[in-house]
Structure 1
């Protein structure tokens, strides 16, 4: 039978075929509107900007059929209550740092960064390919959420201090804004940790409610104005060698999504992750130069302080793992992956980076 005769017999041309296909396509691409609560103020255009990149990518990939309305910290819930809002269905998803919720269970720490944990590349490699995503999502389902990768800041700074910190004894009695599980490490050394959302740090530092504060790095820290009230800027932030940011999604809402919408969400998160890393690499160098030109005093933590902090962190990890099976399971996985990764890094990566850093001065 000739093609022309077949079309006459079946009564179907291209338009007819399209008509039959259209309902199936429509059913597989429903119109969905979600809300996302972020832990960041809009002024932090790299952290909040990562969430914007994510939501925009989802809309564009679905021809605006899947839209996620983004809300900054405080617009629906405070910045440190994003997980709760996602868990109870107040919003469908959130953009946050998992370690903010370590008070519920210390295992939440691993979804961002553990003290003296891996750098940026190793942390996300563990999450993506080293079993981290599976281990964490198995843990998160107990809180009615699941996660996907949505950002990384790179190695952070050690924070802003009103006075110099020369010895371990100088940490005793120090009231410091420091996020998550790391506060317990600082407690072992005599400090008094405070967990304060980003937008509330400056007033506390200005009023003397706290003596020191850490946030991210030069670009964000400059925006928050810490240099105006605390002139001593320390590095490195050993508590956040390469902190992951995650999007939490309500588990019921996730399971109700079409599979390809789930894939689009995760791919949008990957794009936001890459964008955020590139953005910080672009903006931190000039921001640090501006801070130093304005009088900021840059210091490295002394070897003695670093060693004391490492010892305290290892003690805390062991103590926590002894009483928390989830924490131990994730810690063992991350430690094995990190140790293996650093054995490779010191062969080529570290040597090359050190050489290039020495020849990039000026």
Structure 2
């Protein structure tokens, strides 16, 4: 049998057309869905987490989607760890202290008294001084993936009445972090725990006398500048240590490229917060217009600094892991002091 050139071209053309016209087999899968809750209320969350989540959802191109919830929307902040560990929530942005993590490093989350001077101290300690591995090990032991740590703002008092001396702190009911509250009680501060969204009303009703939860950027951003009058320039710590966490099983189910994308977006979020807070802290002191600045004299504030060193030793005596972290803090700060300006002065 022979095949004419005409029949070959005809049959070939038909076969090619059939191949081109054949619809692609649909292989798309439904996107992976995660629920994430942050410690921050909506106004603050717009800055400290939403840009990272939005970026991740865009870049993931339908393969994965994170639904973001703000403070206390799914569970109270104090129950965030348990909800994440059980899988009720897939991912969390918080400090260890606020979400009551059952780890040996919990007391160092949030504001560890006088442990940090600047925001860059946090990534330096985690990436160059070994804290990253300690945190990863502690959380892996309780079924949680520690994704990354970053710095937020320093911790200052925003109050109704002026604070010009340590004596002015006596009896002040203050919303603050658990470990910071534990430290401040020796100066007469009465720590108060409330849902984040209730703080503004509590200041208005007199249930609170002040807030030691943030720097001045948050005080203005979330509206606390409308219910306070004074801002103390002395800080309890130079930077907040916060983290991104995930349920370990949910994390392990992600393909490697989505794990890397998630970690990268969160790392960029840490960088964004560094310059957002750094610029805001200086600018709002000068140009904020609502809060009057007060300062406790340096000689008197040295009492607080000395008390912090005693507090560190008390924490170190509680466990081997805590002792290891405190020793790293001491070594790091010793290097910074010896290095001099601009690290310490």
Same fold, judged at TM 0.5 (above): yes
| 1:102–1:187 Cα change, 3 Å | farther
| 1:171–1:103 Cα change, 3 Å | farther
Aligned to 2:38: 38
Aligned to 2:197: 199
Alignment of 1:337 with 2:336, yes or no, is: no
| 1:89–1:249 Cα change, 3 Å | same
Alignment of 1:322 with 2:317, yes or no, is: yes
When the two structures are superposed, what TM-score results if normalisation uses the length of structure 2?
0.83
Unaligned runs of 5+ in 1: 1-15, 17-21, 352-362
SS of equivalent residue, structure 1 residue 242: coil
Query: Does the CA-based 8 Å contact 1:40-1:79 persist in structure 2?
Result: no
Query: Does the CA-based 8 Å contact 1:37-1:93 persist in structure 2?
Result: yes
Query: Does the CA-based 8 Å contact 2:165-2:296 persist in structure 1?
Result: no
Report the structure, 1 or 2, having the larger helix content.
Answer: 1
Q: Which moved more, 1:116-125 or 1:190-199?
A: 190-199
2:292 is matched with which residue: 290, 297, 301?
Answer: 297
Larger Rg: 2
1:223 is matched with which residue: 216, 221, 224?
Answer: 221
Alignment of 1:90 with 2:88, yes or no, is: yes
Aligned to 1:153: 152
Alignment of 1:124 with 2:123, yes or no, is: yes
CA distance in 2, matches of 1:208, 1:320: 33
Aligned-pair CA distance for 1:349 = 4.9
| 1:74–1:103 Cα change, 3 Å | closer
| 1:275–1:319 Cα change, 3 Å | same
SS of equivalent residue, structure 2 residue 73: coil
CA distance in 2, matches of 1:166, 1:232: 10
Aligned residues: 321
When the two structures are superposed, what TM-score results if normalisation uses the length of structure 1?
0.79
Alignment of 1:260 with 2:250, yes or no, is: no
Q: Which moved more, 1:89-98 or 1:222-231?
A: 222-231
Aligned-pair CA distance for 1:103 = 7.6
Aligned-pair CA distance for 1:219 = 2.9
Aligned to 1:134: 133
